[in-house]
Chain A
Amino acid sequence: MSLREEVLTRVKALLKDRRVDGVLGLSLFEKEPVPCLFEDPFDVDALVIEPKWLLAKLAMNILKTAPQEYRLGLVCRGCDDRAVTELAKRNQLDRNRLTLLGIPCTAEQARKCLCSTPYPREIVAGERVEGMYPMNDEQAQLFLTGSMEERMKRWARELNRCIKCYGCRNVCPICVCIPCKLEDDLWVKRGHIPADMVSYHLIRAFHLSDTCVSCAGCTDTCPVNIPLMLLQVSMRETLKSQYAYEPGLDPERVSPVLTEQEKGEGTLFQEPAWIDSLRGGS
């Protein structure tokens, strides 16, 4: 039985048993994949699982607009699973109303997204494949290594192409702030190309520093092919090495930049020893 057929059986069972009121997945419309909300088990045969499509934000919006008792099923990949976790941590969606149907990505897809965990925490069908480390990719290395001048030139060349379509912000499953700083003239002047785009991209990247689930949605979406996800890699590495924290993997753990310091936890900066005396501890 193929992965798709297994998912179909699961979805049909969920809908027949009335455990969910609808399942969000992809279906083919005129041979093009589009997100689709399946509410009738007889429609489910149209469901497809390829290509990768980020559905977490859509699921969040459905849950926000649907009646309180509406329960939703979601066919999700690793990135969607992590995004749902992060959104739930930030009170953007009610995890109890959401049933996840996790499917793993193919090795090819993982390589394309430079994804280190190309599978959700719970998978209903299929086999997990090993992820990859972004720094092992040759193209990523080009952007993340070299002297400051080389980096600056390379990123200048990339960011210069930006047409400021706001696609990277709109597709990002974590970008949910209202109001958005990128629409505030104090930070980023709207309609200016490309004068403010450095602050645009850096502010956008930094806002996702401790939430980015590395879904590569920004890179996939960008109409001018800026490898935007690579901006996040160094910050993810820092969080991982200093706090052993990876966004989206642990539903309980609060982001380390929002918490008070815990004993035994790594610090990013050197603290003088005399600080301990001020904390009232040993």
Chain B
Amino acid sequence: MTDRTEDSGNIQVVLEGAGRKIVVFACTWCALIGADGAGKKRISLPATFRVIPVECISRVEADAVIRAFTSGIDGVAVMGCHLGGCRHNGANLRSARKLELLKPLLDTVGIDSRRLFTSYGTAHEYHQFAQAIESFCSQIGEMPPVSAWSRSFVRAMSARGENE
């Protein structure tokens, strides 16, 4: 996995851990503001992540995270408001607990819970957002791609003489 640097205009795009796909679920009220700010400030960020805005992170079901991993996403970040500061009656607290409960399951089957990054209220400023994303992206870059995980399924099947 070679890193390469592209210059497009005055924005420097660093493809770190290229080929990895990262999905960021960002709460409109916190992390998305941070993401917006990072864009306005033209901070250089890894190009491997995509942001999906959600009204509140309680809209992100654990099933959605599972679905992301099984469809080949290498890392999922869920970024919401600080616990106790949710606009929807503490909905993010319940969601946070569910996501924390998902981690042992991810560990059990070998997906590795470090691929799921959760942050509550620590990314509403642009530099905080950039820092969180950068460290998460570099962490995912060091880990094998999730496709290795799904490939092991295909391999086990071809060993049985089935093709897919």
Interface residues of A (CB under 8 A from B): 143-144, 148-157, 159-160, 181, 187, 194-196, 198-199, 202-203, 205-207, 209-210, 230-231, 233-235, 237-239, 256-261, 268-269, 271-272, 275, 278-279
B63 to chain A, nearest CB (A): 5
Indicate if the CB atoms of B63 and A269 lie closer than 8 Å.
no
Question: Beyond A268-B101, A271-B83, is A199–B70 a contact (Cβ under 8 Å)?
Answer: yes
Which has the most chain A C-beta neighbours within 10 Å: B67, B71, B93, B104? B104
Interface SS of B by simple majority: helix
Q: How many residues of B are counted as interface, with CB atoms below 8 angstroms from the partner's CB atoms?
A: 37
Which chain A residues border B62 with CB–CB below 8 Å?
A: 206
Nearest 8 Cβ contacts at the A-B interface: A152-B110, A151-B110, A234-B104, A268-B100, A199-B70, A156-B152, A202-B66, A257-B97
Question: Beyond A187-B67, A234-B107, is A206–B96 a contact (Cβ under 8 Å)?
Answer: no
**Quick one: which of A150, A203, A260 contacts B110, CB cutoff 8 A?**
A150
In the assembly, what is the distance between CA of A268 and CA of B71, in Å? 27
Indicate if the CB atoms of B93 and A144 lie closer than 8 Å.
no
Indicate if the CB atoms of A160 and B157 lie closer than 8 Å.
yes
Q: Please, what's the 1-or-0 string for B147-158, where 1 marks a CB less than 8 Å from any CB in chain A?
A: 001101100110
Question: Beyond A148-B110, A160-B157, A260-B90, is A199–B66 a contact (Cβ under 8 Å)?
Answer: yes
> A269-B118, A278-B82 known; 11 other A-B pairs, CB under 8 Å?
A143-B108, A148-B107, A152-B110, A156-B153, A195-B164, A199-B71, A203-B66, A234-B107, A269-B120, A272-B121, A278-B84
Smallest CB-CB separation from A160: which chain B residue?
B156
In the assembly, what is the distance between CA of A73 and CA of B164, in Å? 50
Smallest CB-CB separation from A153: which chain B residue?
B152
In the assembly, what is the distance between CA of A222 and CA of B121, in Å? 43
Indicate if the CB atoms of B109 and A151 lie closer than 8 Å.
yes
- Answer whether residue B39 sits at the interface, using C-beta atoms and an 8 A cutoff: no
Which chain A residues border B164 with CB–CB below 8 Å?
A: 194-195
- Which B54-97 residues have a C-beta within 8 angstroms of A? 62-63, 66-67, 70-71, 82-85, 90, 93-94, 96-97
**Quick one: which of A181, A202, A257 contacts B101, CB cutoff 8 A?**
A257
Which chain A residues border B108 with CB–CB below 8 Å?
A: 143-144, 151, 155, 230-231, 233-234
A255 to chain B, nearest CB (A): 10
A35 to chain B, nearest CB (A): 32
Which chain A residues border B111 with CB–CB below 8 Å?
A: 148, 152
- Answer whether residue B36 sits at the interface, using C-beta atoms and an 8 A cutoff: no
Which chain B residues border A155 with CB–CB below 8 Å?
A: 108-110
Which has the most chain A C-beta neighbours within 10 Å: B85, B105, B150? B105
Smallest CB-CB separation from A199: which chain B residue?
B70
Indicate if the CB atoms of A257 and B94 lie closer than 8 Å.
yes
B67 to chain A, nearest CB (A): 5
In the assembly, what is the distance between CA of A26 and CA of B15, in Å? 64
- Answer whether residue B42 sits at the interface, using C-beta atoms and an 8 A cutoff: no
- Answer whether residue B50 sits at the interface, using C-beta atoms and an 8 A cutoff: no
In the assembly, what is the distance between CA of A202 and CA of B70, in Å? 9
Indicate if the CB atoms of B104 and A203 lie closer than 8 Å.
no
- Answer whether residue B102 sits at the interface, using C-beta atoms and an 8 A cutoff: yes
Which chain A residues border B71 with CB–CB below 8 Å?
A: 199
**Quick one: which of A143, A149, A160, A268 contacts B153, CB cutoff 8 A?**
A160
| 19 A-B interface contacts by CB (under 8 A) | A148-B111, A151-B109, A152-B110, A155-B108, A156-B156, A157-B156, A159-B153, A194-B157, A202-B66, A203-B63, A206-B63, A209-B102, A235-B104, A239-B101, A257-B101, A261-B83, A268-B101, A269-B118, A275-B82
Indicate if the CB atoms of A153 and B70 lie closer than 8 Å.
no
A258 to chain B, nearest CB (A): 6
